[in-house]
């Protein structure tokens, strides 16, 4: 029986496999990401939202990021490449931030925006930031949130998520105690250091006077 595998078929298969191998990572990375992806409850941090593609091949014109509950403060970072529009809720807190590109970001360039956020002590364990990416043509809503037990990588348009770690009990107190102990050690060492300097200085003075006396006596003998 004649083999169905010919050089032409083999070449086509290899090319197809290579294209697929390149396409899969590209599809997997096609989303709006956030860095860092973990903060500590009660702390502050700067979040950077980045993307490396538009809506298919269309340049990106804006990103609208909706704030989750559990944030004590939000302060968008000023950037000459973006204009910033801030929306606030009835409580006065920032509810959404829209970054509009001064010049649309081409599909083959990485774009990024950032903001400072403050967390409460009772901030939820996970914070999702739904993002609407608008392009010259079309838009993409990165708003899907994985349910319990669901793999986030299985979502078609996942929202950027930041995990919140619990603050270590007494971490600030331990830092303060350590600093206080360091200051006490420094204060205890200071008198000893000053006393040693005084002794060395006095010894040097005595040695100098002795040398001068010897020099005078030698001079008189010669005279």
Q: What is the mean pLDDT of residues 123-152?
A: 93
Query: Three-class SS of residue 29?
Result: coil
State the Cα–Cα distance between residues 67 and 87, nearest whole angstrom.
10
**Which residue is listed with tokens 């030698």?**
218
User: What CA–CA distance (Å, rounded) separates 185 from 6?
Assistant: 82
- What pTM did the predictor assign? 0.64
Q: Residue 183: pLDDT above 50?
A: no
CA distance 120 to 124: 9
In this structure, the dihedral spanned by the alpha carbons of residues 13, 14, 17 and 18, taken in order and rounded to 10 degrees, is -150
User: For residue 104, what pLDDT is reported?
Assistant: 97
Assign domain 7-165 to its CATH architecture.
Sandwich (2.60)
The residues spanned by each domain of the chain are: 7-165, 171-223
Cβ proximity of 119 and 39 under 8 Å? yes
Which stretch of 36-45, 117-126, 136-145, 146-155 has the lowest confidence by average pLDDT? 146-155
pLDDT at 30: 59
- Mean pLDDT, range 147-173, rounded to an integer: 82
The DSSP element (H or E) to which 23 belongs, if any, is helix 7-28
13-57 confidence digits (pLDDT tens): 444 444 333 333 333 345 899 999 999 999 999 999 999 888 989
Q: Which pLDDT belongs to residue 180?
A: 44
Alpha carbons 104 and 136: distance in angstroms, whole number = 8
Structure tokens at 183: 């200051």
Q: Tell me how far apart the terminal alpha carbons of the chain are, to the nearest angstrom.
A: 128
Q: What pLDDT shows up at residue 108? A: 87
Give 63-81 pLDDT, tens digit per residue. 999 999 999 999 999 999 9
């Amino acid at each position: 029986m004649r083999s169905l595998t010919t050089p032409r078929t083999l070449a086509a298969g290899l090319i197809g496999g290579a294209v697929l191998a390149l396409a899969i990572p590209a599809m997997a990375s096609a989303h709006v990401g956030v860095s860092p992806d973990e903060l500590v409850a009660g702390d502050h941090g700067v979040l950077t939202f980045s993307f490396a593609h538009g809506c298919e091949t269309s340049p990106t014109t804006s990103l609208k990021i909706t704030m989750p509950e559990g944030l004590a403060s939000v302060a968008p970072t000023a950037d000459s490449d973006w204009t910033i529009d801030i929306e606030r809720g009835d409580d006065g807190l920032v509810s959404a931030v829209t970054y509009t590109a001064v010049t649309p970001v081409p599909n083959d360039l990485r774009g990024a925006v950032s903001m400072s956020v403050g967390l409460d002590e009772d901030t939820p364990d996970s914070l999702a930031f739904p993002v609407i990416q608008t392009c010259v043509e079309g838009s993409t809503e990165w708003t899907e949130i994985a349910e319990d037990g669901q793999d986030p990588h299985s979502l078609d348009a996942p929202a950027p998520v930041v995990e919140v770690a619990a603050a270590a009990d007494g971490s600030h107190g331990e830092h303060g105690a350590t600093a206080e102990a360091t200051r006490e050690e420094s204060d205890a060492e200071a008198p000893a250091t000053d006393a040693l300097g005084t002794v060395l200085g006095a010894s040097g003075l005595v040695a100098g006077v002795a040398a001068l006396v010897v020099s005078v006596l030698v001079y008189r003998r010669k005279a």
